Amino acid sequence: MVTTITAQQLLDMKKKGEQIELIDVRTPAEYREVHVNFARSLPLDQLDPQALHAERTKSGAAAPLYVICRSGSRSRQACEKLIAAGLTEVVSVDGGTQACEAAGVPVVRGKKTMSLERQVRIAIGAMVLAGVTLAAVGDDSIKPLGLGLAAFMGGGLVFAGITDTCALAMLIAKLPWNQAGGSGAVATCTRSLLVVAALAAASTAVAGHTKDTLDTVQERVNSGDAMLLDVREQDEWNAGHLTSAKLIPLSALEEGLSREQLSKLLPADKIIYCHCAKGGRCLLAERILRPLGYDVRPLKSGFDDLKSFGFPSEVESTK
């Protein structure tokens, strides 16, 4: 059982002139933003209980070691580790730095940062949202992945609640912007890259087969508002293809056609209905073409389905 102390009790002890050894186990960035003025930084992911025990034994320290974090969760974890290492005189500050601020304990303020708890909530929320979106709009091959991701994150939350530990928080704590070193520009740049990556992941999660019906597709192609793009390979095209379709094999897209080359093949002002044999490769093609500004809408129906529906087809002449 971890012994705790309130922020008010900590303040009263300080006012009486008692010597208090207080370690702050938040990330260096959180410590830099605001910390109790007599606390020293010792991040939880860098805490070495055995080394700290040896240090206090060597110095002959007899007074309790007080531990603080943002709200009390990480300080309790740190105390449990220290107790397991043989340091029994450890006390967690209930309510953490937030409670100390409210109680009037002197604090030092620096550069503002995002708390680790907020970062964890954002990361978990983003992954659950991505998983649910994949399950809702993805094709049959992707839906299990989305459900698995959402279930995994939900199970992780349950485990974190029961054990009061969070592996994701420990991982995020090691990221560059949560460290004290480095310039603000580097931290800002790294955060920006993470945001871009998150948006890209969200875009991929949302992407899926078009909801446009085949009647709508056929009507738009016939009216000239849309075109059909076949991303199968040349031999598949030769064996049979839709008469009104244009061929650009996925392999050619993946090798990297220039914007100039693509502009000669694909109109920028039309909807591009992309298809393949079974509906998988057209999703990959969409992820290549959409960032280039094309309105690409992958069809879940493959060539045989489109042919059966009534789209005119032909076999490539070998003459």
How would you label 183-208 residue by residue, b for 16+ Cβ within 10 Å and e otherwise?
eeeebeeebeebeeeeeeeeebbebb
Maximum separation of any 2 CA atoms in the chain, in Å = 100
**Three-state DSSP class for 307?**
helix
What pLDDT score was predicted for residue 180? 60
Q: Are residues 60 and 137 in the same domain?
A: no
Distance CA 312, CA 221 (A): 12
Structural domain count of the chain: 3
Residue where a domain terminates, one of 183, 206, 229: 206
Distance (Å, whole) CA 175 – CA 60: 36
Question: Residue 293's domain is classified under what CATH number?
Answer: 3.40.250.10
| Alpha carbon distance 24, 15 (integer Å) | 20
Give the tens place of pLDDT for each residue, 166-224. Answer: 777 777 777 766 766 544 444 444 454 455 445 544 444 445 799 999 999 999 999 99
Do residues 292 and 268 both lie within one domain?
yes
Specify the pairing of strand 21-24 against strand 226-230: unpaired
- Give the span between the Cα atoms of 39 and 167, in whole angstroms: 25
Same domain membership, residue 98 and residue 12: yes
Span 266-299, pLDDT tens digits: 999 999 999 999 998 999 999 899 889 999 999 9
Q: Where among 85, 109, 133 does a domain terminate?
A: 109
Question: Is residue 229 in a domain?
Answer: yes
Same domain, 288 and 310: yes
Q: Do both 219 and 279 map to the same domain?
A: yes
How far is it, in rounded angstroms, from Cα 283 to Cα 303?
Answer: 14
Low-confidence residues in the chain, pLDDT < 50 = 182-190, 192-193, 196-197, 200-206, 319
Q: Specify the 3-state DSSP secondary structure of 93.
A: strand
Structural domain contains residue 319? no
Range of the domain at 226: 214-314
- Please give the pLDDT value at position 139: 62
Are residues 27 and 114 in contact, defined by beta-carbon separation less than 8 angstroms? no
- Domain match, 15 and 92 both: yes
Are 200 and 225 found together in one domain? Answer: no
Pairing between strand 313-314 and 34-36? unpaired
